[in-house]
């Protein structure tokens, strides 16, 4: 498995929090932690969303992006997920990584300091060059949309 080096800066309100880490040897995502104040957790009522700080800024190499994705455990146990999933962090962004969480569950969910709230997946970027054509190539599927390939 290959690795790249990414510069990371932990902001003051992240003091004492661990840096994102892979939880297993084959994990694709680094777990992001909530950098909310110990005495002021974020409470997500059912149907509500909030931007949760991570106190992290990163410098991705050119040709890479970072994707902020949900944690399956939060979704399965509490109905909490990343609202704009996956959120994209471009290589030229240098601001704080924020995680937009939404509560689809039936009860309020409290986001505590240091809680694992999302995953950060680093991915290569391929840029497309769009070319206008008179017609597209034919395929078996054609213009079949939602549900056209079966149930």
Mean pLDDT, the chain, integer: 95
- Identify whether 60 is preceded by a cis peptide bond (ω within 30 of 0): no
Residue 12 falls inside a structural domain: yes
Residue 63 falls inside a structural domain: yes
Residue 25 falls inside a structural domain: yes
CATH number at residue 54: 2.70.40.10
Based on the structure, what is the number of domains in the chain?
1
Residue 134 falls inside a structural domain: no
The mean per-residue pLDDT over the stretch 55-77 comes to 97
Q: 2 or 49, which is more confident?
A: 49
113 CB contacts (<8 Å, ≥6 apart)? 17, 34, 35, 36, 37, 38, 41
Question: Tokens 């106190």 label which residue?
Answer: 55
* Model confidence at 151: pLDDT above 70: no
DSSP lists the bridge partners of residue 87 as 68
Residue 150 falls inside a structural domain: no
Per-residue confidence (pLDDT) for residue 140, from 0 to 100: 86
* Residue-wise pLDDT tens digits, 86-143: 999 999 999 999 999 999 999 999 999 999 999 999 999 999 999 999 999 999 888 8
Question: Measured on CA atoms in the order 125, 50, 33, 70, is the torsion positive or negative?
Answer: negative
The mean per-residue pLDDT over the stretch 78-84 comes to 97
Residue 81 falls inside a structural domain: yes
CA angle, residues 71, 77, 80, in degrees to nearest 5: 55
Secondary structure (3-state) at 10: strand
Instruction: Classify the phi-psi angles of 55: left when phi > 0, otherwise alpha if psi is within -120 to 50, otherwise beta.
Output: left
Residue 146 falls inside a structural domain: no
64 CB contacts (<8 Å, ≥6 apart)? 4, 91, 122, 123, 124, 125
Domain that holds residue 77: 7-124
Residue 117 falls inside a structural domain: yes
């Amino acid at each position: 498995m290959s690795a790249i080096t990414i510069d990371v800066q932990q902001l003051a309100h992240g003091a004492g929090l661990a840096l994102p880490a892979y939880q297993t040897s084959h994990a694709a995502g680094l777990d992001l932690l909530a950098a909310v104040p110990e005495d002021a957790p974020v409470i997500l009522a059912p149907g509500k969303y909030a931007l949760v700080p991570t106190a992290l800024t990163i410098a991705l190499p050119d040709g890479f992006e970072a994707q902020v994705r949900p944690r399956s455990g939060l979704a399965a146990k509490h109905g909490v997920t990343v609202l704009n999933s996956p959120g994209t962090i471009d290589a030229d962004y240098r601001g704080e990584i924020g995680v937009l969480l939404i509560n689809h569950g039936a009860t309020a969910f409290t986001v505590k300091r240091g809680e694992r709230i999302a995953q950060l997946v680093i991915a290569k970027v391929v840029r497309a060059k769009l070319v206008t054509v008179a017609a597209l190539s034919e395929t078996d599927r054609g213009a079949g949309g939602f549900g056209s390939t079966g149930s």
